[in-house]
């Protein structure tokens, strides 16, 4: 019987914990909100339902169906590479912090792959109506052509710029504008931890 090391167990807990939270949150948004709808939690935190064809924070590679397919394949290859590297780190008994960080990055990448791979098959469109699960006639897109569900919006600063300011004077300014999801957050935090503690993680 396969016996997992302590570091491997920690990695699996992190990955499955993040995936569970990410997918449950996305499923709730998809089945309770219309595209573009938002729920105000505080003055600086909203649930704003949007979808994108791209990577974290809506970044896209290429245009159209071909670009979408390329991005999905790129994601799968990246996940395989990260998974291999994580397995290597566990075997080499790398620092637990590094293993957790890579596990967070891997979980986030898998979370967004699930959206693009299966949501198009499982759900109807979210325009004007709340999406239905397993609709008659099939979903809104084929395999690997679904869109990633985003919902976290933090307009920490929402103000009108003074008229005397060159170029942008009088225009509305919002910081932080991108809408993202828990998977994106997991990737970002994982990378940030590695950058902050890189000397400790890679001193060997």
Segments making up each domain of the chain, as ranges: 17-201
Is residue 204 over pLDDT 90? no
Whether 147 and 113 have beta carbons less than 8 Å apart is answered as: no
Q: Which of 153, 113, 151, 117 is nearest to 32 (CA)?
A: 151
Is residue 179 over pLDDT 60? yes
Give the residue-averaged pLDDT of 36-46: 94
User: How many CB atoms sit inside 10 A of residue 184's CB?
Assistant: 22
The pTM of this model reads 0.88
Given pLDDT bands bounded at 50, 70 and 90, which one contains residue 56?
low
pLDDT tens-digit profile of 76-135?
Answer: 999 999 999 999 999 999 999 999 999 999 999 999 999 999 999 999 999 999 999 999
Q: Which residues pair with 56 in a beta bridge?
A: none
Q: Which of 8, 23, 4 is nearest to 115 (CA)?
A: 23
Contact partners, residue 158, CB within 8 Å, separation at least 6: 172, 173, 174
Task: Find the catalytic residue in 22, 115, 150, 158.
Answer: 150
Catalytic residue flag (residue 158): no
Q: Which of 195, 178, 158 is nearest to 54 (CA)?
A: 178
Please give the sequence-ordered ranges of beta strands (E in DSSP) within 70-189, or none if there are none: 148-153, 157-160, 172-175, 179-180
Whether 193 and 101 have beta carbons less than 8 Å apart is answered as: yes
Which pLDDT score, from 0 to 100, does residue 1 have?
Answer: 46
Give the residue-averaged pLDDT of 132-144: 92
Catalytic residue flag (residue 22): no
Please give the sequence-ordered ranges of beta strands (E in DSSP) within the chain, or none if there are none: 38-42, 45-52, 148-153, 157-160, 172-175, 179-180
Whether 99 and 86 have beta carbons less than 8 Å apart is answered as: yes
């Amino acid at each position: 019987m396969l016996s997992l090391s302590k570091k491997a167990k920690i990695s699996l807990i992190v990955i499955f914990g993040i995936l569970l939270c990410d997918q449950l949150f996305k499923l709730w948004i998809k089945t309770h909100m219309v595209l573009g709808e938002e729920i105000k939690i505080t003055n600086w935190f909203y649930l704003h339902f949007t979808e994108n064809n791209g990577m974290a924070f809506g970044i896209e590679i290429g245009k159209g169906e071909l670009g979408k397919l390329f991005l999905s394949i790129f994601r799968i290859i990246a996940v395989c590479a990260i998974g291999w590297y994580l397995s290597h780190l566990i075997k080499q008994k790398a620092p637990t912090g590094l293993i957790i960080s890579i596990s967070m990055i891997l979980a986030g990448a898998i979370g967004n792959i699930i959206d693009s791979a299966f949501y198009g098959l499982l759900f109807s469109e979210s325009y004007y109506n709340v999406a239905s699960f397993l609709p008659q006639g099939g979903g809104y897109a084929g395999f690997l052509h679904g869109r990633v569900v985003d919902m976290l919006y933090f307009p920490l600063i929402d103000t009108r710029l003074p008229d005397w300011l060159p170029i942008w004077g009088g225009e509305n300014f919002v910081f932080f504008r991108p809408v993202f999801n828990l998977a994106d957050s997991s990737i970002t935090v994982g990378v940030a931890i590695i950058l902050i503690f890189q000397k400790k993680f890679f001193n060997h």
